[in-house]
Copies of this chain bind each other. A is one copy, B any other.
Amino acid sequence: MPREKQYNEAEVIERAMVLFWKNGYKSTSLRMLSKEMGINQFSINASFGNKKNLFLESLKLYKSKLQQVLKKFEDSSNGKDSIKNFFYAFAAFSNQDNNKRGCLMVNTMSEFGLEIDEQVGAVISNYGEKLRGLFKKNLEFNTAIDSVTLNKQINFLVLAIGGLGLAGKIQNNTVIEDYIEMTFKNL
């Protein structure tokens, strides 16, 4: 029998995720990853195949962490205030420990635009659809609303959450708070 892996895959993915989150995909080299993950390039390859797959695993881990935020949103879906609470939670997640890393998924969409890798794009799109569903549910909560207006509001919120992800990298907390307050003032 061979020796055991001397590292925990979940742990090294977490470190990779932080690096990708901080620097983006292209600007994070395998050597940086190797150093930060504490394992050498060959081990990265052995565990994850290649850089893209490591990124995919990092993205999935990120998504699972953000899923905890989404879970609260799902559990207390009581209308527009729930959406607003989610916006605040998402903004906090995008600037945790005041690291100004934004949102890894928004960062990735911004880095690749529409020429995104198919698998990476699928992970992100899946999250987007989930979000749309929750926005819909909460916008309809206790309110009669025509489908045209509903769709406009959903589109509004989708773009807004993207803007908020970007803002997590470059804006201070006051700007972000003011944005959320103004957004929900008259929604």
Contacts and interface: CB of A to CB of B under 8 A. Distances in A.
Interface of A: 24, 26-27, 100-102, 106-107, 109-111, 113-114, 151-153, 155-156, 158-160, 162-164, 166-167, 169-171, 174-176, 178-179, 181-183, 185-187
Nearest to A176: B159
Contacts of A27: 26
B178 A155 contact: yes
B163 A175 contact: no
A166 B166 contact: yes
Given A163-B164, A164-B163, A186-B185, A114 B169 contact: yes
Classify the interface of chain A: helix, strand, loop or mixed.
helix
Nearest to A172: B155
Contacts of A106: 166
| 4 closest Cβ pairs, A-B complex | A163-B163, A186-B186, A156-B182, A155-B178
A114 B114 CA distance: 24
Copies assembled:
2
Nearest to A153: B182
Given A26-B27, A100-B113, A186-B186, A179 B159 contact: yes
A159 B151 contact: no
Contacts of A166: 106, 109-110, 162-163, 166
A16 B166 CA distance: 25
